[in-house]
Amino acid sequence: MKDIKNICCIGAGYVGGPTMAVIALKNPNINVHVVDINAQRIAAWNDEDLSKLPVYEPGLDEVVGQCRGKNLFFSTEVNKAIDLCEMIFISVNTPTKTYGVGKGMAADLKYIELCARQIAEVATTDKIVVEKSTLPVRTAQALKSILKNTGNGVNYEILSNPEFLAEGTAVEDLMDPDRVLIGGDETPAGQEAIQALATIYGAWVKKEHILTTNVWSSELSKLTANAFLAQRVSSINALSELCEHTGADVNEVARAIGTDSRIGPKFLKSSVGFGGSCFQKDILNLVYIAKSYGLHEVADYWEQVILMNDHQKRRFAANIVKTLYNTVSGKKIAMLGWAFKKDTNDTRETAAVYVADELLNEQAALQVYDPKVPEAQVFVDLDYLNSRAAADNKNYVTVQQDPYEACKDAHAVAILTEWDEFKDYDWQRIYDHMKKPAFVFDGRNILDIPKLKAIGFTTYSIGKGNI
State the catalytic residues. Answer: 278
E strand residue ranges, 36-126: 72-75, 87-90
Question: Which strand (E) or helix (H) includes residue 67?
Answer: helix 60-67
CB–CB of 439/460 below 8 Å? yes
CB–CB of 289/281 below 8 Å? no
User: What is the rounded CA–CA span in Å between residue 360 and residue 125?
Assistant: 55
State the burial class of residue 145 (Cβ atoms within 10 Å of its Cβ: 0-12, 13-18, 19+): exposed
Radius of gyration of the chain (CA): 24
Please state whether the peptide bond connecting residue 177 to the residue before it is cis, i.e. omega within 30 degrees of 0: no
User: What is the rounded CA–CA span in Å between residue 11 and residue 4?
Assistant: 20
User: What is the rounded CA–CA span in Å between residue 272 and residue 316?
Assistant: 7
User: What is the rounded CA–CA span in Å between residue 27 and residue 43?
Assistant: 24
CB–CB of 177/204 below 8 Å? no
- Measure the CA dihedral 186/221/106/297, to 10°: 110
